[in-house]
Structure 1
Amino acid sequence: MRDFQIPGRSAVFAQNGICATSHPLAAGAAIDILRRGGNAMDAAIAGAVLLGICEPQMTGIGGDCFLLYTRPGSNKIHAVNGSGRAPAAASAADLRDQGLDTVPLNSPHSVTIPGAMDAFCHLAETEGKLGLDAVLQPAIHYADTGVPVAARVAFDWAEGAATLQGSARRDYLFNGEPPRVGQVFRSPGQAEVLRRVARDGRDAFYTGEVADDMLAALTKQGGVHQADDFARTACFSTTPVSGDYKGIDLVEHPPNGQGATAILMLNILKHFDIAAMDPLGAQRTHIEAEAAKLAYDARNRFIADPDHMTRLQHMLAPETAAKLAALIDPNRAMDNPAQLSEAVHKDTIYITVVDKDRMAVSLIYSIFHGFGSGISSDKFGILLQNRGAGFTLQQGHPNELGGNKQPMHTIIPGMLRQNGRVVMPFGVMGGAYQPNGHARLVSNLTDFDMELQAAMDAPRAFHDGTVMNVERGYSNTVRQQLADMGHKVKVPHTAIGGSQAIRIHDHGVLEGASDPRKDGCALGY
């Protein structure tokens, strides 16, 4: 039990349903959907689409999503890939011929076709109970009437505002400036898009005037996108991947997401007695950082569009982890194993819902960098993601930019399973940090028997590129010890990631937790 004399928050306990996400209005909308007879899928979609209005710097209908979910009375975990593809005419060779080494972040070349809306429409129809019109109403309402800008949102908005260009500055700035806390953001153009989708389904987004609006914005800046690229966008079902860590199965979405990286990282950590270490000490932090370096190097080499990669089983094999673990010096930081050009960053939302029938949904949804590409459609104000920056321009690489390919994605929903029973949908935001965050949360719960909220609250560290980011929650002594081991230690400007989770207890009670690094909360009824 937490010390109630120290600032913090308690977990939320309920019996009928819980939503945990990064903004309270979205959590409230999800619970309202459950009260009205909707299921966890209805609630998750309603909350997720609303988050695009509450946190437009993080996500929106111009982005992608991935989901893991169970059906009532079943522990089988289903996966849906709602990530879009590069336009058919995309070519790494063309960009190399222009003298480029990476996909420019704020150009139309970085814009892949938004995939989330197709997934939301498909899942509302096939897994939901209330129908698409009902689940889109909360987002339509708040897009019209407005959302007061929350504290963390205002911070992130100011950080990403320079990315905005053209009509996006009109739609997402207030007299040319980022909003202050409490100012009200409205998006009547997106409200109109959502009304059309609620009435006419996914074709209202991917064909006709809305698609033409997005296409025109891209074409004007030199994009190679065509109407057919939008029209043929389709989500698809796939098979989750999993790995065991001390009796807990970590279940992840398969590639083109980076979930296998978290499994590999935990497989490496199995070779060390993490439970015997100080959870906030230098030794645990160092070993975790070294495991992350090796796991992320494997990610950069192998993870790509599932139709273009062949080394997934190699990443998940126990012998691969054993060989990598043997490379770790317990007392000295290694040089970064690889410096590849794939862009990774930190802007994502996550929402999880469990309902009274114990249907569980783990949903992650993003436009990648803050405000995505910075390009928005002129009429409707749809911000377009820059997920294409997740491609490499390296010739012959499985993740090389190419027509109709899906890029390597940083966003990953997770679930935990124990003795065959699904016990926790969860997610950790933070772009590149996400696999490390999944591994750390599992380790906090398993190695150190932390309560769920405490496992989220605990200070974080992350080896990001060449720098070891160590949050202020660590002691100066630990920071110095890490520096003495050879890490380039820095206190990050922004808190590392964010997370939400719902534990499904075997006695029937639900426990929800939400990261204090974000504005959100867990709500139940």
Structure 2
Amino acid sequence: MVSSSQPLASLIGRKILDQGGNAADAAVAVAAALAVTEPCSTGIGGDAFCLFYDAKSKTVKALNASGRCPEALTIEKLRSLGFEGDSVPNTSAHSVTVPGAAAGWVDTVDLFGSKRLSLAQILEPATELAERGFPVSELTAQFWKRGEQRIMNASPNGHEMLRHGKAAPAAGEIMKLPNMGKTFRALAEQGKAGFYEGRIAESIVKTLGDLGSTMTLDDLKNHSSTPVEPISIVYNDQLRVHECPPNGQGITALIALGILDSLQSKGKRAFLDAGVNSVSYLHTVIEALRLAFADSKFFVTDPEKVHVPVNELLSKEYLAKRAELIDPQNTKAVAHGSPANSSDTVYFSVVDKEGNACSFINSNYEGFGSAIVPEGCGFVLQNRGSNFNLDPNHPNALAPLKRPYHTIIPAMVTRMDGSLHISYGVMGGFMQPQGHVQVLLNMHHFGMTPQEALDTPRICIMPEEEGRSVVLVEEGIRPGVVEGLKALGHEIQVVTGLMRANFGRGQIIVRREDEESAGGHVLVAGCDPRCDGIAVAQF
């Protein structure tokens, strides 16, 4: 089964499964297809992370395919250039870190793939889409239009991402990205060297250099993905929830779930008994997430450069102390760290007939990222460096060859016997751990199907500024609940229409045991109504 935010991408994933590929092979094919059909969210110029469930060993493995800061870029250099404040502006060429997705696609196939298909076979369907053209879907067309001016203004090559070089494509119009097709062919034929060396690398460095960036050919050539051990917690003594470790923010979801689990272990279940999206329930979830973000936004950074106290943050003792800070009758400001929000990512999930699963996420960041297009390459470069802090004493301070705090996070849930239960994720900037928590609670505590769990209205807490923080509430949550949250001290903004993309766009595949089925189980999927996608099954 494949679930993604674009129908053509989901169908391409199933095609790879039909050709004998496994979940990892199909995931890379979907990633490439989404780079073509939804470049306003993702692309080969961005980053990726994945979790892979190996059915034979019943283990979860992880890959960090995020890029690093250029070696010559320092806080001192930025200050000398007149940069002020705590972060690099997201429109600056200095916000561009090395794109990690291309290496991540190659490494996912090498580490977790079936070995029955070559990288060229896996990338061919997406390459054909780019070269022959595809009809643009509705929501994607609107997000593309929203980024049109940025694309035009960011670099001289923005026309490569526009229809006939002039404007964003409208819904239903055929869009061709021939230069992206050439980039895919170079990666397929030459592997990583096809992207990180030669023509494409030279174009990246030249285009960025003309805009003031310090990125060099060596920064690209020396880039590598990192296989890492997932981090996890046990929830309700029944589920083990897995996330990628820092520099990703998956620990935020685990901290919040750990706080909620601690409350339940002490008999404080009133928020669950009140029902999904009740005042008590939402207040408790909001406060748990605020506490989680306070820690993750301060501590999460590149563990290769700065120690991140993962074990301490996830210890039962620490989580119990954090749970004690929740007041069921009031909200309070958090000392430091806060979530922000954007919808700029694609998440998708694949489970194959052998029982393997790949939970995969790929992103430009902030829509079209930096919107800078390397000449002749047909893709935009990310702006992940804007997540660095420019305070040299901060754990997430910008530094040469360092990875920044990263928002994109895939998730996976196994049962206590190690069997696969859920492969899922919710894309969209700092909304992602908030989505992970809410949809998991919907399924686990309230018995929802994957589709019901995604359909249910969500909340999103926004950055805390000057002691106040707005909570976005999606249309569909009852007016009485909104008033009840206000009475507890929350500042509420109800969000409707297309702006509901702020609440993320999730994909879920659940594996249910069923002795009557041929394989002993049934796969059940959900695809978020806030995106254009579908879930498809292989029979």
Q: Give TM-score, length-normalised by structure 1.
A: 0.94
Structure 1 residues 340-355: aligned runs within 5 Å: 345-355=342-352
Q: Which structure has the higher relative contact order (CA within 8 Å, separation 6+)?
A: 1
State the alpha-carbon separation in 2 of the partners of residues 126 and 309 from structure 1: 27
CA distances 1:106-146 after superposition (whole Å, capped 9, x unpaired): 11111000111112112223432201000000110000011
The question of whether the paired residues in 2 share the 8 Å contact of 1:168 and 1:374 is answered with no
CA distances 1:168-210 after superposition (whole Å, capped 9, x unpaired): 5312234644322112221111101111111111101000011
State the alpha-carbon separation in 1 of the partners of residues 335 and 140 from structure 2: 34
2:2 to 16, 19, 25: 19
In structure 2, what is the equivalent of residue 151 of structure 1?
A: 138
Structure 1 residues 474-493: aligned runs within 5 Å: 474-492=477-495, 493=499
In structure 2, what is the equivalent of residue 139 of structure 1?
A: 126
What's the offset of the Cα at 1:163? 2.5
Structure 1 residues 222-261: aligned runs within 5 Å: 222-246=212-236, 247-261=238-252
The question of whether the paired residues in 1 share the 8 Å contact of 2:252 and 2:433 is answered with yes
The question of whether the paired residues in 1 share the 8 Å contact of 2:293 and 2:337 is answered with no
The question of whether the paired residues in 2 share the 8 Å contact of 1:344 and 1:410 is answered with no
State the alpha-carbon separation in 2 of the partners of residues 161 and 336 from structure 1: 37
Q: Does 2:18 correspond to 1:35?
A: yes
Amino acid in structure 1 at the alignment position of 2:133: G
CA distances 1:213-265 after superposition (whole Å, capped 9, x unpaired): 11111100000001000001111211000011111111111111111110100
State the alpha-carbon separation in 1 of the partners of residues 314 and 421 from structure 2: 22
Q: Does 2:389 correspond to 1:392?
A: yes
What's the offset of the Cα at 1:398? 1.5
CA distances 1:364-399 after superposition (whole Å, capped 9, x unpaired): 000111100111112212200001111111122111
1:500 to 479, 484, 507: 507
Amino acid in structure 2 at the alignment position of 1:480: E
State the alpha-carbon separation in 2 of the partners of residues 491 and 339 from structure 1: 24
CA distances 1:403-427 after superposition (whole Å, capped 9, x unpaired): 0000110010100011221211111
What's the offset of the Cα at 1:339? 5.4
State the alpha-carbon separation in 2 of the partners of residues 122 and 348 from structure 1: 20
In structure 1, what is the equivalent of residue 420 of structure 2?
A: 422
Q: Does 2:106 correspond to 1:117?
A: no
Q: 1:278 to 1:64 in 2, by over 3 A?
A: same
The question of whether the paired residues in 2 share the 8 Å contact of 1:167 and 1:381 is answered with no
Query: Percent identical across equivalent pairs?
Result: 36
The question of whether the paired residues in 1 share the 8 Å contact of 2:340 and 2:430 is answered with no
2:525 to 508, 512, 515: 512
What's the offset of the Cα at 1:494? 3.0
In structure 1, what is the equivalent of residue 309 of structure 2?
A: 311
Q: Does 2:198 correspond to 1:211?
A: no
Q: Which runs of 5+ in 1 are unaligned?
A: 1-17
Q: Does 2:75 correspond to 1:75?
A: no
Q: 1:326 to 1:96 in 2, by over 3 A?
A: farther
Question: How many equivalent residue pairs?
Answer: 507
The question of whether the paired residues in 2 share the 8 Å contact of 1:27 and 1:523 is answered with yes
Amino acid in structure 1 at the alignment position of 2:461: H
In structure 2, what is the equivalent of residue 189 of structure 1?
A: 179
RMSD of aligned Cα (Å): 1.5
Q: Does 2:474 correspond to 1:471?
A: yes
The question of whether the paired residues in 2 share the 8 Å contact of 1:249 and 1:416 is answered with yes
In structure 2, what is the equivalent of residue 48 of structure 1?
A: 31
State the alpha-carbon separation in 2 of the partners of residues 480 and 71 from structure 1: 47
In structure 2, what is the equivalent of residue 264 of structure 1?
A: 255
State the alpha-carbon separation in 2 of the partners of residues 23 and 403 from structure 1: 36
Amino acid in structure 1 at the alignment position of 2:188: A
The question of whether the paired residues in 2 share the 8 Å contact of 1:169 and 1:176 is answered with no
State the alpha-carbon separation in 2 of the partners of residues 515 and 222 from structure 1: 40
Q: 1:26 to 1:133 in 2, by over 3 A?
A: same
Q: Which runs of 5+ in 2 are unaligned?
A: 464-468, 515-520
State the alpha-carbon separation in 2 of the partners of residues 415 and 204 from structure 1: 32
State the alpha-carbon separation in 2 of the partners of residues 154 and 476 from structure 1: 32
Q: 1:73 to 1:367 in 2, by over 3 A?
A: same
